[in-house]
Structure 1
Amino acid sequence: MSRFFEERERAAEMLFVRTEEARFRVHAQGVQSLAAYAAQVLGVDHFSALAYAEELMASVIQGTKDDALIARVQADLEANGVVVDRAPLVQHLKQPPAQRASGKSLA
């Protein structure tokens, strides 16, 4: 009987790990989408856009919350003379292109 519970516990742990990994991948796609949008608005080259995406992902890994990340991108855009409303930034972060195309939502 003890072995049965150990197997169920292991299965539950694996399910949790897979769920968290999937959640992280979706969030990473959102961050990349946000970085790509900002790069497109600024008109920078592909390599600069990739570097910016990596910089944003590094700050997320260090614990930056979504609101702070959006504020940072908005400040970066404003520092380059581009005023952008918060709504499209939130949309790119919360709903990456793959989900927008399929009509799915994170809620």
Structure 2
Amino acid sequence: MTTFDKREQGFEAKFVHDEELMFRATARSNKLLGLWAAGRLGLSGDAAASYATRLVTDHLEDRTMDEVLDKVANDLAGTGLAREQVALKLQECLHQALAQLEADKQ
């Protein structure tokens, strides 16, 4: 195996690792956002958990962050929260999810 082949394998392995990490972070941040939104909607217990789980599992592979943001912003439209506020919360949840995944590694 040449040095070039080893380098290519290394890049491919890093890409796979980064994609897996982003998938896990996105799923976790969607759940955190779902739990936050459920609280804002007055849901608790099983209803809150179900809302958060649906946010993670519905269209798991093809839902973009914008679609998640749109769904939650639309659900929260009656509460007076603007889409920008939900976007900030989503960003906060993503940072929290990445920190949790880092902590889990150690």
**TM-score between the two structures when normalised by the length of structure 2:** 0.71
Match of 1:89 among 80, 86, 89: 86
Query: Where do 5+ consecutive residues of structure 1 fail to align?
Result: 102-107
Query: Where do 5+ consecutive residues of structure 2 fail to align?
Result: 100-106
Matched positions, count: 97
- CA drift of 1:12 comes to 1.6
Q: Is the 8 A contact 2:38 2:52 kept in 1?
A: no
- CA drift of 1:60 comes to 4.8
Q: Aligned-pair RMSD on alpha carbons?
A: 2.4
Aligned positions of 1:2-21 closer than 5 A: 2-21=1-20
**Runs of 4+ with deviation above 4 angstroms:** none
**TM-superposition CA deviations, 1:47-89 (whole Å, max 9, x none):** 22221122111235241222222221122234xx423111221
**TM-superposition CA deviations, 1:19-54 (whole Å, max 9, x none):** 111222222232122111111112211322221122
Greater CA drift, 28-37 or 60-69: 60-69
Q: What CA distance in whole angstroms lies between the structure 1 residues aligned with 2:33 and 2:41? A: 12
Match of 2:96 among 68, 77, 98: 98
Q: Is the 8 A contact 2:29 2:96 kept in 1?
A: no
Q: What CA distance in whole angstroms lies between the structure 1 residues aligned with 2:86 and 2:74? A: 12
